[in-house]
């Protein structure tokens, strides 16, 4: 009977079996030798005793072997209740070494007291890191989620289609950085790798393929962040003749099914909605984490009337002042929020672009601080601050100020989430939220020019379309983002299906007709040949899977990720290319 290392149970005792696996731990007792034989299904103990013991002496860690032997029940005192296969073991009759292994550069064990080898080493030997149980579980979980999603779309009658990966570069209209591939057959010209299948899926709608989805690999050449990769996966879909309501409902049903099938959890739908404007004003960004409250309040008026000179000076320079109150049991022993934590938070605030951070705590309905002089300076506006922030006893209030509203809100929203997660009194484990009624355009703070807030294909809402010429910043888009625990897991919109309106929106971001024609002419042309009303969304699969699993690092859910420099320690890509080949094939020359 051929089996795997996770399958054998008590009632298999007596059977002859053939096992393949990796030698994880080898315990040599002199006259007898035990091996924990591992594969992705589990671990089974193999015993070598008698004549075969000396064959096993040559085995080393991570050797791949085949063992034929007899399954036997363990003696009562030898049972290992922490292993699923712990009732039995395999008594080896024959041993074949299938693949020898060098001594591994790090041990294939789970985290040791919270320590893992450095990330670069893990990535260089990714195939070894992937032998860890946690990584196996993560990769299998990703597969489970992907399968569940596919099953959902197939069940809804969607076609799984493949859009091209070598596409027209649209950097000129998008401003975002694409990865470029030189063309050998058209020297001097380049393909781009898609940042999204957006244009192609819209053209699918024009062609009448009215329900499309794809597990799409997309590429973005922006600078690295902890949760960014050069290439990542989106669940991309688009439908024709439907409105926002239908698409949101579809995503809700999808998410509901995925939660049920992968976590056996029931989640409540429909999800809450919030206007973009409200999200920014109350939470400081467009993806509020609603596992906790802690709204941001504007206390510019109070600060202006206080005697706190630092804030007053910011206000004189047309700045504003924002505050958040955190429920924290501040004065109590063992509270996660204590004086030392607050001092470190001030440093965090500086890293987020603020010049500093003022913090107070509430005791007996009064503001207190270190040193006392700070709360003294707020004495005359104490009531106002307490009522605006809704702070009660034990709460900590953080106050930030900056001359740039954007910088201030961005920093306060990040502080809000950092402290909120630290306090960890979540009302719900999974807080879903639709953010909608986004503006179509946003003003670039420095130059004052208009940019598309999302992509330039979002259809304006009927009630704001008339501002298009007079006051384009007031135009809202039929766009919706799905936020889970402060992470944007999906974003989509109803698209423009009218070529004239599409031209108009593109002109609105300062593009000339010639520029539009040059980069997006083929798309406008497509919209001119009978384009249905259509819309869709894309779900960021890597982040979605990690969030579902309750983990932070998306790299732990990607088979072969890149490091912070977007190098791959595994294959050392990117690499330089021979100058002669560049010249001959692409007519390119690299200047050093």
Partner RNA sequence: GCCCCAAUAGUCUAGUGGCCUAGGAUAGUGCCCUGUCACGGCAUUGACGCGAGUCCGAAUCUCGCUUGGGGCGCCA
44-73 residues near RNA, rule: CB under 7 A:
45, 47, 49-50, 60-61
Among 34, 259, 341, 467, binds RNA (CB under 7 A): 34
Binding of RNA by 564 (CB under 7 A):
yes
Nearer to RNA among residue 109 and residue 465 (C-beta): 109
| Distance of closest approach, residue 348 Cβ to RNA, in angstroms | 9
CA 450, 454, 458, 460 torsion-angle sign? negative
Binding of RNA by 210 (CB under 7 A):
no
Nearer to RNA among residue 93 and residue 228 (C-beta): 228
**371, burial (CB in 10 Å: exposed 0-12, middle 13-18, buried 19+):** exposed
Token pair 């990330």: residue: 119
Site stretch for RNA (CB under 7 A), options 134-142, 300-308, 450-458, 471-479: 450-458
Binding of RNA by 515 (CB under 7 A):
no
Binding of RNA by 25 (CB under 7 A):
yes
Q: Which of 96, 109, 88 is nearest to 46 (CA)?
A: 88
Binding of RNA by 298 (CB under 7 A):
no
Binding of RNA by 346 (CB under 7 A):
no
Among 183, 335, 368, 451, binds RNA (CB under 7 A): 451
Helices (H), 100-224: 119-124, 126-129, 133-155, 171-174, 198-207
The first and second tokens of residue 209, run together, are: 């393929």
- Pairing state of beta strands 487-494 and 534-540? antiparallel
Nearer to RNA among residue 131 and residue 388 (C-beta): 131
Helices (H), 438-575: 467-470, 499-508, 513-527, 541-548
Among 80, 331, 498, 551, binds RNA (CB under 7 A): 80
Residue 517 main-chain phi, psi, to 5 deg: -60, -40
Considering only residues 420 to 449 of the shown chain, the ones binding RNA according to CB under 7 A are: 444
Site string for RNA, 120-159 (x = CB under 7 A): xx--------------------------------------
Site stretch for RNA (CB under 7 A), options 83-91, 245-253, 375-383, 469-477: 83-91
Residue 180 main-chain phi, psi, to 5 deg: -110, 145
Binding of RNA by 485 (CB under 7 A):
no
At residue 550, the 3 state secondary structure works out as coil
Binding of RNA by 336 (CB under 7 A):
no
Binding of RNA by 170 (CB under 7 A):
yes
The size of the interface with RNA (CB under 7 A), counted in residues, is 72
Site stretch for RNA (CB under 7 A), options 167-175, 295-303, 416-424, 461-469: 167-175
Site stretch for RNA (CB under 7 A), options 169-177, 181-189, 236-244, 289-297: 169-177
| Distance of closest approach, residue 49 Cβ to RNA, in angstroms | 5
Among 51, 188, 223, 470, binds RNA (CB under 7 A): 223
Among 2, 113, 266, 462, binds RNA (CB under 7 A): 113
- Residue 591 CB coordination number (10 Å): 3
Nearer to RNA among residue 119 and residue 261 (C-beta): 119
Q: Which of 154, 137, 160 is nearest to 262 (CA)?
A: 137
- Residue 42 near residue 84 (C-beta atoms within 8 A): yes
Binding of RNA by 222 (CB under 7 A):
yes
What are the DSSP calls for 40-79, one per residue? Answer: TTEEEEEEEEGGGHHHHTT--TT-EEEEEEEEEEPPGGG-
Among 319, 439, 456, 508, binds RNA (CB under 7 A): 456
Contacts of 49 (CB under 8 A, 6+ apart): 31, 32, 33, 91
Which residue(s) pair with 338 in the sheet? none
- Pairing state of beta strands 42-49 and 88-99? parallel
Contacts of 441 (CB under 8 A, 6+ apart): 450, 451, 452, 453, 472, 473, 475, 508, 509
Nearer to RNA among residue 89 and residue 252 (C-beta): 89
Site stretch for RNA (CB under 7 A), options 136-144, 242-250, 272-280, 348-356: 348-356
- Residue 36 near residue 53 (C-beta atoms within 8 A): no
Nearer to RNA among residue 270 and residue 510 (C-beta): 510
Considering only residues 390 to 419 of the shown chain, the ones binding RNA according to CB under 7 A are: 410, 414
Among 177, 253, 430, 443, binds RNA (CB under 7 A): 177
Q: What percent helix, strand, coil does the chain show, rounded to 5?
A: 35, 25, 40
Nearer to RNA among residue 77 and residue 424 (C-beta): 77
Nearer to RNA among residue 155 and residue 510 (C-beta): 510
| Distance of closest approach, residue 353 Cβ to RNA, in angstroms | 5
Binding of RNA by 30 (CB under 7 A):
yes
Binding of RNA by 499 (CB under 7 A):
no
Site stretch for RNA (CB under 7 A), options 175-183, 293-301, 310-318, 389-397: 175-183
Binding of RNA by 163 (CB under 7 A):
no
Spatial distance between the Cα atoms of 474 and 465, rounded to a whole number of angstroms: 9
Among 93, 133, 220, 443, binds RNA (CB under 7 A): 220
The first and second tokens of residue 219, run together, are: 């590429």
What are the DSSP calls for 250-318, one per residue? Answer: HHHHHHHHHHHHHH-----SSPEEEEHHHHHHHHSSSS--TTS---EEE-HHHHHHSS-HHHHHHHHTT
Considering only residues 91 to 110 of the shown chain, the ones binding RNA according to CB under 7 A are: 103-107, 109
Among 138, 163, 195, 306, binds RNA (CB under 7 A): 195
Binding of RNA by 13 (CB under 7 A):
no
């Amino acid at each position: 009977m051929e089996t795997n290392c996770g399958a054998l149970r008590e009632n298999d005792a007596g059977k002859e079996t053939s096992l393949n696996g990796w030698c994880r731990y080898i315990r040599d007792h002199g006259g007898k030798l035990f091996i924990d034989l591992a594969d992705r299904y589990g671990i089974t103990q193999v015993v070598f005793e008698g004549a075969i013991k000396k064959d096993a002496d040559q085995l080393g860690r991570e050797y791949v072997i085949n063992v034929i032997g007899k399954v036997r029940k363990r003696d009562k005192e030898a049972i290992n209740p922490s292993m699923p296969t712990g009732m039995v073991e395999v008594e080896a009759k024959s041993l074949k070494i299938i693949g020898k292994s060098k001594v591994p550069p790090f041990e294939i064990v789970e985290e040791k007291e919270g320590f893992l080898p450095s990330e670069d080493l893990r990535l260089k030997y990714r195939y070894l890191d992937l032998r860890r149980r946690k990584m196996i579980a993560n990769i299998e979980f990703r597969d489970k989620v992907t399968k569940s999603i596919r099953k959902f779309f197939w069940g809804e009658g969607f076609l799984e289609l493949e859009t091209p990966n070598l596409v027209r570069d649209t950097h000129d209209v998008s401003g975002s950085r694409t990865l470029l591939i030189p063309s050998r057959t058209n020297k001097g010209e380049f393909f781009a790798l898609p940042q999204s299948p957006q244009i192609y899926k819209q053209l699918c709608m024009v062609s009448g393929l009215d329900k499309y989805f794809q597990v799409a690999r997309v590429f973005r050449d922006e600078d690295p962040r902890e949760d960014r990769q050069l290439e990542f996966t989106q669940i991309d879909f688009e439908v024709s003749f439907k409105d926002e309501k239908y698409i949101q409902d579809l995503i809700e049903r999808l998410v509901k099914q995925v939660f049920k099938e992968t976590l056996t959890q029931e989640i409540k739908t429909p999800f809450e909605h919030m206007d973009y404007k409200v999200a920014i004003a109350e939470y400081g960004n467009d993806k509020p984490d609603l596992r906790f409250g802690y709204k941001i309040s504007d206390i510019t008026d109070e600060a202006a009337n206080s005697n706190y000179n630092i804030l007053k000076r910011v206000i004189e320079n047309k700045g504003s002042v924002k505050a958040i109150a955190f429920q924290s049991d501040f004065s109590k022993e063992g509270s996660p929020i204590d004086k030392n934590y607050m001092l470190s938070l001030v440093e965090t605030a500086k890293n987020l672009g603020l010049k500093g951070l003022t913090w107070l705590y509430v005791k007996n309905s009064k503001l207190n601080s270190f040193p006392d002089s700070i709360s003294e300076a707020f004495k005359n506006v104490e009531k106002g601050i307490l009522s605006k922030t809704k702070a009660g006893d034990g709460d900590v209030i953080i106050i930030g100020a900056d001359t740039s509203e954007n910088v201030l809100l961005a920093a306060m929203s990040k502080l809000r989430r950092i402290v909120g997660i630290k306090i960890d009194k979540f009302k719900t484990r999974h807080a879903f939220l639709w953010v909608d009624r986004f503006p179509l355009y946003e003003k670039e703070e420095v130059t004052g020019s208009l940019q598309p807030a999302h992509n330039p294909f979002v259809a304006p809402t009927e009630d704001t379309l008339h501002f298009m010429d007079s006051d384009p910043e007031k135009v809202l888009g039929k766009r919706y983002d799905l936020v889970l625990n402060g992470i944007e897991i999906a974003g989509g919109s109803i698209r423009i299906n009218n070529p004239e309106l599409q031209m108009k929106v593109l002109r609105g971001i300062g593009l000339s007709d010639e520029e539009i024609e040059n980069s997006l002419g083929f798309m406008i042309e497509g919209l001119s040949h009978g384009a249905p009303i259509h819309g869709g969304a894309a779900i960021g699969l890597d982040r979605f899977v990690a969030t579902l699993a309750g983990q932070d690092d998306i790299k732990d859910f990607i088979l072969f990720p890149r490091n912070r420099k977007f190098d791959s320690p595994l294959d050392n890509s990117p690499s330089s290319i021979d100058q002669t080949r560049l010249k001959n094939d692409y007519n390119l020359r690299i200047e050093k």
